[in-house]
Structure 1
Amino acid sequence: MNTTMPRTDVQFAGQIPELYERLLVLMLFAPYAEDLAARAAALAPSRVLETAAGTGAVTRAMALALPAHVDIVATDLNQAMLDRAATTPIGRTVTWRQANALQLPFDDASFDIVVCQFGAMFFPDKPAAFAEARRVLRPGGALLFNIWDRIEENAFANTITDALGHLFPDDPPLFMKRTPHGYFDRGAISRDLASAGFDAMPRFETVTRRSRASSAQEVALAYCQGTPLRNEIESRAGASLDEATSICAQAIAARFGSDYPDGKIQAHVIEIRR
């Protein structure tokens, strides 16, 4: 169990859901959502559970990729994220439900697949969350999820973290390195899955994409104010949230240009059968 994750790392509230959906989905999550939805469709499920659905990037991708008869249930710990997700037209019925991935309110063996995009890193007890996913899977069902690779393989996140480290040298905000990019070791993930009761070997695939934005300021705004990194910045003295965002925008511009910055992103996709 990870006992070092601050409570603020999982707080997606206030202005975060809107900025997350408006900026980060296209910048980071949409390419991987399409990839995960295609993998889900290839498994030909009849009932799908999504955990850590956020503002619905994967939910919308699955709504397009899966046949109309497939039942989609999308859950997240943060009701504010689901509320934002539900405002985007999706073209079919989706059940939105607030739920903790460590205590899923569903019967045993009730889903064909469990899908989770960039959520496993936030689970404070990863084997417990994987065990819950296994519990609600039907025999032969699959857990399908992705996680970010190390921060050094993700250019914008690394640049933002470095810039904030220089701005707050005595207490650098390390949310991005600690949590979104802190759970990438294949051995650790495999051990957690085994501890959760999965007997099969997980399949890993590394997927590299490009992250693009209209401006360096947009990148900085997305990371500094559209993620829980915002909570860390606001808790520190010496620079305001807007000042920190401006410093990060300058760092992005210096490395990638002020207009239409383009940086590498990299993630691992994991599939394991029950």
Structure 2
Amino acid sequence: MAGPTTAKRGTKKSTSGPRPSPSSGGRRFRLPRPRLRRPGRRGVIIIAVLAVLLGGFGAWAVYGSNWLRLERVRVTGTDVLTPQQVVAAASAPINAPLASVDTDAVERRLLARLPRLKSVAVTRSWPHTLGLEVTERAPKLLLETDGKFAEVDDEGVRFGTVTRALKGVPLLKMTVSDSPSSARFGTGRLLRAAVTVAQDLPAAVRKDVRALRVRSYDSITLELAGDRTVMWGSREQGAEKAKVLAALLKAARDARHVDVSVPSAPAVSGS
């Protein structure tokens, strides 16, 4: 007859769940994973047909429908030019699929037809707009030819012609046609040297400059308002010359002639 202790043991519930059988080697039982059924031949055909139909519809929507066609051209960044001039020069194919517009060709046409443009960025703005963001060249010097004035930018590029001299833009006087400097350096290099000098001028001086006279690569002279002249020399050491010139003009306001061709040894006369 079992005692109280034995009875209690028989009635005690197990909290650890069923024990693995000896044949399982101590491993728990796992349910088998469901296997994915591969589509049959008919399913593959249906999927392929749907893919073709979707691709065809997408191509038609982009190239064949009226949903994504070019309807307008938007221009930003103009100053001297008008947006209408830019649109006309771009010759964008209105009513053509926007995706088929050759943006590189549009950019090339604009730069070739409008020399005033320095750069162009052409972008598509879905669903119907082509954007043209332009940057115009800014004149740094004027070169007089046959009573007209050619505009020259900071790269030495002649990009436009005006009938009147622009206020605040110095006149470039090239007097080097028969000089050895012209043959050695070439007109183009001398022109770029003059542009460099114009850029190096301090703002306080630039507004008073009426002309830059280039006789040779080493002989560039500034003609200022009030019949004042500045011997600049070559384009080298431009930053140093600019500082020295600004200081001299401030210290010697009555000076008629200033020489900063050697910035470490400047000279003033005619005061």
More helix by share: 1
For the aligned pair, the TM-score class normalised by the smaller chain equals under 0.3
TM-score, normalisation: structure 2: 0.21
Structure with max Cα Rg: 2
- Write 1 or 2 for the structure with the bigger share of strand: 2
Greater relative CO (CA pairs within 8 A, separation 6+): 1
